[in-house]
Amino acid sequence: MAKFLNKKTCYIGKNVTLGKDVVIYENNHIEGNVNIGDNTIILPGNTIVNSTIGTNCKIHNSVIEESTIENNVNIGPFARLRPNSIIKSNCKIGNFVEIKNSLLKEGTKISHLAYVGDCEIGKNCNIGCGVIFANYDGKTKHKTTVGDHVFIGSNCNIIAPVTIENDCYICAGTTITKDCKQADFVIGRAKQESKPNAAKKYW
């Protein structure tokens, strides 16, 4: 049986199914066909609509619409999962991450400040802070495919359509416009220049 910490502050729709030992904190709105698995914790401030959430998950102050979340997943705070997002087991979706029409496979982590649209991302990837998957060219949406065990550093732009194969390492600040082959080390940013004492004129 689910445990509510303050049921008066929650809206739970008639088609919501709650597993054993689910804990629901105050100020949650859960509606439509929602199934929440055993031992999952719904922390304060979520909106969950027409979605499936597996066992042993933790959801904090996020919006989840028409999406599927498997087991042992942490989401939030302040994440948004738009329709047709599929999050496999043992993933982490952190603060200010937006995901739309994308598949994240097991063990992948997107901890903060990223947009993931129209993507398939493999297992055990790390997507850094400020990464943008640029899926729209002004007319058409395009797909990005990322293999397993890929590291994408902070502030990268991934311009779809592209494929990044397994075991690639994408350095921070890189813009990807071409496919990356397996185990490529990719850097695409301007070289830093330091001019000694030149900053004095600004102070």
Give the residue numbers annotated as catalytic, written as ranges: 112
**74-107: burial string, b at 16+ Cβ within 10 Å, e else:** bbbebbbbbeebbbbbbbbbbebbbbbbbbbbbb
| Inter-residue contact 138 to 156 (CB < 8 Å) | no
Name the one residue in this structure whose structure tokens are 């729709």: 13
| Inter-residue contact 160 to 144 (CB < 8 Å) | yes
Q: Which of 61, 68, 67, 26 is nearest to 46 (CA)?
A: 61
Query: Strand 162-164 and strand 144-146: pairing?
Result: parallel
Query: Strand 103-104 and strand 80-81: pairing?
Result: unpaired
d(CA 76, CA 109): 12
Rounded to 5°, the CA angle 165-100-90 comes to: 65
The total of other beta-carbon atoms located within 10 Å of residue 188's CB is 14
| Inter-residue contact 180 to 166 (CB < 8 Å) | no
Q: Helical H runs in the chain?
A: none
